[in-house]
Structure 1
Amino acid sequence: MNIKSVRQTAREKLKGFCRVCPECNGKACVGEVPGMGGAGTGASFRNNVEALSALRINMRTLHGAKNPNTRIELFGQNLTAPILAAPIAGNKFNMGGALNEVEWAEAILQGCLSEGVLGCTGDGPDPMMYNTGIEAIVKAQGCGIPFTKPREPEEAIRYLKRAEEANALAVGIDIDAAGLIAMAVGPKTIEELKTIISSTTLPVILKGIMTADEAELAIQAGAAAIVVSNHGGRVLDHTPGTAEVLPRIAVAVDGRIPVLVDGGIRSGIDVLKMLALGADAVLIGRPLVIAAYGGGTEGVALVVRRMKNELKQAMLMTGCATLSDIDKDILYQK
């Protein structure tokens, strides 16, 4: 199995839902929601990709960083790289259903675990989607992070309890899914978030932070980490790319909690760029959809391994011996 064969198989299995374009930039799938596209004009999806693409890197080779270390400790785990699989569910609606929810969740979790990183599982209109992820996490002995949508507090608390029962490492809330019309979900007040977060012993990750002031509110609500995300450009047209807003958010958080980010990340070099902008780790979405559909567990592991190797090579060529050496100085400034 190789990347070419994975992509070829994925193109067949995702036919009608994802074209597996040579460059995954949102231009061919504009407005395809459900599906893999971006909302409306697709500008938010494209902005994610283009904001990263616009960044240039300073090459440095006069240094002693000959064997870069990509390891990071996150949520009590020593990971081989600052890479996680983003929480995704709804295979039938968004990806055609060639993989069922069980096959999907297990491919993501087991593929990530085989490479020493973490997978997240998602949620959707059918409770089965969340429960399938929980069952896959149980099978993985708790090594995974389930995400739920921003449900009403009483229901959200029940979902978080299921994550506790599964001995999950942490639990997430997709607050950026507030506008999904297929579900009875919505924005949350700080008081509601405090009620939800205080109900569990697990670290709670809030995904969907796009401004510095909401990063501060997330901390006040008790979040253990945040994800800078616009939901892959799928819930609001014309947002900036996550790479554009990340630096200001990272400065506002100032190391108090981990800052994760997703959106447009396609390679280990993109991972390097996000870390240079202030992220502690990244979440990978669409590339792992292609990986799972094209090669199952082995396909996911293959893509994660490639990203890890690309990150290590990029660190070698920028003089970064450890992740803590990656900062804004590796980015070219005109």
Structure 2
Amino acid sequence: MNWQDVKKNAKEKLKPYCRVCPICNGIACAGEVPGMGGVGTGSSFKANIEALHKIKLNLSTIHNVREPDTAIEIFGQSLSLPVMAAPITGTTYNMGGAITEEVYCEEVIAGSIMAGTIGWTGDGADPLMYGSGINAIKKNNGKGIPIIKPRAQDEIIKRIKQAEDAGARAVGVDIDGAGLITMALKGQPVSPKSPKEIEELVKATSLPFILKGIMTLREAEIAYNVGASAIVVSNHGGRILDHTPGVAEVLPEIAEKFKGKIKIIADGGVRSGVDVLKLLALGADAVLIGRPVVVAVFGGGREALKLYFDNIKNELKQAMLLTGVASVKDVPRAILRF
């Protein structure tokens, strides 16, 4: 199995919901929601890609780095690389249904484990979506992280308890899912949360609590003040609000104030190991990857996902070697050129 074969298979299975473009940049699929595109003009999706592409790396080959270390520990879990599979649902209305929700979740969790990392699972209008993720995590000894939509408080807490029962490594809410129309249409409304409501959720579990969808310094501060263990700097893949900045644009100001105080995970437009290194240099502790994970799983299941993560890891090590970075736990911003 090679990556080109995986992409070819995925293109057939995802047609016409995803074109599996040579460069996944949000241009061809702009406005295709449901689907795999960005909302409206697709500006927010494209901004994630463009923000990363604007940043360059300083080539450095006079140093003592020989074997770059890509391993991290997060939420008590040792990972071979600082990259995890993002929570994605909707295999039927976003991806065409060639793979069921249950199979997708199982392959993401299993493939992530095979690659030495961990998969996140999501939530959606159909209860099967969250349940499929919980079942896959439970089946794999809790090696997964479920993320819940910003539903009513009692509904979120009920799902937090399910995550605990599954032995999940952490749990969280993607607060940026507050505007999802499909949830409301199916009688499961979602909405923004007050700081007090978020604090209630943090205190409802002994698991590390993640708040996903933070794009401002103010909201990062709220997450920190209410006791969240981690934030995910993310604009929901550009699928919620048109014309937001890219993740790489807002990450530095958040990291400048909160690096070392709360785990900072970046999610948006990562397509290579070089992109991973850029986000780490901007202050992230780890990153999430979304759409390419879909391509991998649809193109070849868990083995293809392992192949993809192995490729990312190799690209990351090469980039570290050529910028003089010894460990992903300490990536200096000086390797970047703006």
TMscore range, shorter length: over 0.9
Task: Map residues 40-51 of structure 1 onto 2, 5 A cutoff.
Answer: 40-51=40-51
- Is 1:256 the counterpart of 2:261? The answer is yes
The SS at the match of 2:41 is coil
What's 1:211 paired with?
216
Q: What SS is found at the alignment partner of 1:89?
A: coil
**Residue 52 (structure 1) aligns with:** 52
Counterpart Cα distance in 2 of 1:112 and 1:96: 23
Q: Is the 8 A contact 1:89 1:129 kept in 2?
A: yes
Q: In the TM superposition, what is the alpha-carbon distance from 1:297 to its structure 2 partner?
A: 0.5
**Cα RMSD between the aligned structures?**
0.7
User: Which whole-Å CA distance do the structure 2 matches of 1:152 and 1:193 have between them?
Assistant: 11
Matched, 1:293 2:273: no
Moved over 6 A (4+): none
Alignment of 1:169-184 (within 5 A): 169-183=169-183, 184=189
Distance in 1 (CA, whole Å) between partners of 2:241 and 2:226 is 24
Contact 2:285 2:329 in 1 (8 A): no
CA distance in 2: counterparts of 1:252 and 1:42, whole angstroms: 30
* Length, aligned pairs only: 333
Q: Distance in 2 between matches of 1:72 and 1:248?
A: 23
- Deviation sequence 1:198-230 (CA, Å, 0-9, x none): 111111100000001100001112211000000
Please list the CA deviations of residues 47-94 of structure 1 after superposition, one character each: whole Å capped at 9, or x if unmatched: 000000111000110111010000001000111010000001110010
- Percentage identity across aligned positions? 57
Q: Which residue of 2 aligns with 1:90?
A: 90
Q: Structure 2 stretches of 5 or more lacking a match?
A: 184-188
User: Residue 172 of structure 1: CA displacement?
Assistant: 1.5
Offset of residue 239 of structure 1: 0.2
Amino acid at match of 2:263: P
User: Aligned with 1:318: secondary structure?
Assistant: coil
Q: Deviations over 1:231-281 (max 9, x none)?
A: 000000000000000000111213111100111000000000000100000
Q: Deviation at 1:324?
A: 3.1
Q: Distance in 2 between matches of 1:5 and 1:81?
A: 24
Secondary structure, counterpart of 1:92 in structure 2:
coil
Instruction: Give, in angstroms, the shift of residue 325 of structure 1.
Output: 3.3
Residue 268 of structure 1 aligns with which residue?
273
Judge conservation of contact 1:215–1:252 (CA < 8 Å) in 2.
no
| Deviation at residue 144 of structure 1 after TM alignment | 0.3
Question: Quick one: which amino acid aligns to residue 203 of structure 1?
Answer: P
Q: Structure 1 unaligned segments of length 5 or more: list them.
A: none
The answer to whether the aligner puts 1:152 opposite 2:152 as a matched pair is: yes
Q: Which amino acid aligns with 2:35?
A: G
Residue 62 of structure 1 is matched in structure 2 by 62
Q: Counterpart of 1:38?
A: 38
Counterpart of 2:182 in 1: which secondary structure? coil
User: CA separation in 1, counterparts of 2:259 and 2:129?
Assistant: 35
TM-score calculated relative to the size of structure 1: 0.99
